[in-house]
Amino acid sequence: MSRPTPFVAEAAKAFDAASQYRNTWCVPLRITSAFLFLAAFISGCQRPTPQTDANAGDHSSAIQLTDDNFQSEVIESDLPVLVDMWAPWCGPCIEMKPTIEEFAAEIKGTAKVGALNVDENPFVTEKYEIDKYPTLILFEGGVEVKRVYGKKTLEQLRVILSD
């Protein structure tokens, strides 16, 4: 059997050294990666509790829309309807809820405001291709006439309805 050339011997030593280096850092790196993943997973699971019909109480001015009542409350409505398409995990959606309620109380009788939880109502969400939150859609005569995205102030809501 022949002896390896000096180049092959040096390459083998370098490979062994690299393997030893890799093995030295591999385990701590994997442990650190696992710890970071676990920390991110745990913190991601602590979402704010969504406000539902049970939390809203009887003072709610906005109509709670569902896949079942959307046709009768929005499409067949004689009044203009501003629909807030919101998600319980969406921070701006939750922050805007008091503004939506105040606006609904302000325009009662001249127009309606409805709130639709997109997570619980997939039919309407898909039909109107809702992929940004919050999405506000104004319906007149059962037809979509305006669509805006993002958190809005009370004054901006007034402008949406008046245009």
Catalytic annotation on 26? no
Q: Exactly one of 63, 65, 74, 90 is catalytic; which is it?
A: 90
Catalytic annotation on 90? yes
Q: Exactly one of 82, 87, 93, 124 is catalytic; which is it?
A: 93
What is the secondary structure of 42-82 as a DSSP string? HHHT-PPPPP-HHHH-TT--SEEE-TTTHIIIIIT-SS-EE
Positive or negative, the CA dihedral 152, 103, 124, 93 is positive
First-to-last C-alpha distance (Å) of the chain:
92
Catalytic positions? 90, 93
